[in-house]
A and B are shown apart, each in its own frame.
Chain A
């Protein structure tokens, strides 16, 4: 298998154009993005089973929607589909899951510090952000740039910047107990 962290390449659009005429030509794009999309799904859903389900659905939907794709940013388009799929699956899970427990918990700085010392669980951190903030951070971690995130979330660049700024402020507070006591 190729390097899972391989960065998107500039020929995405060319590959898409070919794949619009011949779906089998989508395979290189699949290989390029299956790892990152899986990681993105896992980040939100937290289990291998759900992440695999989500990854399958993303590529099924992408293949089906490909004829209607217009030139733009393929990566943002694919992650927009991924975000919708993951959001749907996330909503459909049983509510007694890690995210909800972590989101409703109110950790003290000591607990956060303890978690940091013990290798903090990023999913637990992100679960405490608002859904909009979490979307932005997860797409940023997936490697999308600001305009791509705005495209994927159907929001203005300014709105994404504001969400991103507040999200990282929140994360800074969570990661550094001293910030809380200032």
Chain B
């Protein structure tokens, strides 16, 4: 009886399909029972208050959590917002990140995945002068004839089909999936033909296109790696170890910028993979919230952006810091900290931060150079 056979019989026994001859797995089954007993004894039950509050927040028609940290309350217009009918009095016990998460899903539920507008969160009523007009968020309607479906591609059968936003580079869309984070499906954007599909060596946290290359970064189970893959064939070209879990990835010409969850930004040469510079940005993160970048797959990822030789990084506390892309020298930082799920984008040559679940839907950083003291 090989170890493989014993492992199989043990697995069958745990699944309730106990074979007649356990052959070596008996003592392991006893261990499994002991562990299960320990688990049952130490089983943690959530408080009823927590379960009820979360359910209310998730499924009530309109809920506006109060007490979110962040920019000063700007909005008299919010006083007439509908309030939850049965909001729990001890809401303050729910942590900030949870409130942000709850608010974010409400935005998604109210406005749909693509159009984050309308209703009580309508940015048109936001008095902030830097708010983006609502039209920027896609309220325009088009007739079905005008849109027309060109092609569709089914998800890979081995996935549950819940795909993340794709990366598009050189006419190829690279699709990844929530539940199968090492799988990639490459689709030709012209024809809809699948160029290649299959697993890569890392569970993808972030990815970016670099011409004909697809760059993916994440854990290989033992350490974090940046892996370059030929976008047309799926063949791996090179890889490089990363010190920390990646939270952002940007390619600009021949330079790769990788943001770590420890708020360290590194730049590499695309051709040689040599490190060009490395800058730690933790001092811009409040010590009380220094948990690194909180990754919400599918919601974050756009944390590094570039405008005219300046690379900006959106840190875990929603603060924006800008560096010279060539040297890594700090240029300026924006003093505002934005709570919520933040993303960084470039619109008309300007950095724009969007924050779901905060009081702002978007804002443009103050790019007036602010003195950055060294050290």
> Is B70 in the interface zone, CB < 8 Å from A?
no
Query: B102 and A30: CB pair below 8 A?
Result: no
Query: A61 and B298: CB pair below 8 A?
Result: yes
Complex CA gap A164/B35 in Å reads 13
Query: A141 and B28: CB pair below 8 A?
Result: no
Complex CA gap A141/B34 in Å reads 11
Query: A53 and B97: CB pair below 8 A?
Result: yes
Q: Chain A residues with Cβ under 8 A from B296's Cβ? A: 57, 61
Among B142-178, those with CB < 8 Å from A are 155, 159-163, 178
Query: A68 and B11: CB pair below 8 A?
Result: no
Query: A65 and B162: CB pair below 8 A?
Result: yes
Q: Mark A127-157, 1 if CB is under 8 A from B, else 0.
A: 0000110000100110001100001101000
> Is A69 in the interface zone, CB < 8 Å from B?
yes
Least distance between B205 CB and chain A CB atoms (Å): 9
Interface of A is mostly: helix
Interface window among B51-59, B276-284, B303-311: B51-59
Query: B31 and A52: CB pair below 8 A?
Result: no
- Point out the residue from B31, B38, B43 that lies within 8 Å of A168, measured CB to CB: B31
Query: B36 and A91: CB pair below 8 A?
Result: no
Q: Chain A residues with Cβ under 8 A from B105's Cβ? A: 59-60, 63-64
> Is B6 in the interface zone, CB < 8 Å from A?
yes
Interface window among B128-136, B180-188, B323-331, B344-352: B180-188
| Chain B interfacial positions (CB closer than 8 Å to A) | 3-4, 6-8, 10-11, 14-16, 27-28, 31-32, 34-36, 38-39, 41-48, 50-51, 54-55, 58-59, 94-95, 97-98, 101-102, 104-105, 108-109, 113, 155, 159-163, 178-183, 203, 221, 245, 261, 291-292, 294-299
| Chain A interfacial positions (CB closer than 8 Å to B) | 1, 4-5, 23-24, 26-27, 30-31, 34-35, 38-39, 42-43, 48-49, 51-53, 55-57, 59-61, 63-70, 72-73, 76-77, 80-81, 84, 88, 91-93, 119-123, 125, 131-132, 137, 140-141, 145-146, 151-152, 154, 160-162, 164-165, 168-169, 171-172, 175-176
17 A–B pairs (Cβ distance < 8 Å), ordered by A: A4-B43, A27-B59, A52-B50, A61-B298, A64-B105, A68-B161, A70-B162, A76-B179, A80-B179, A80-B180, A92-B261, A122-B35, A152-B179, A154-B183, A164-B7, A164-B10, A168-B32
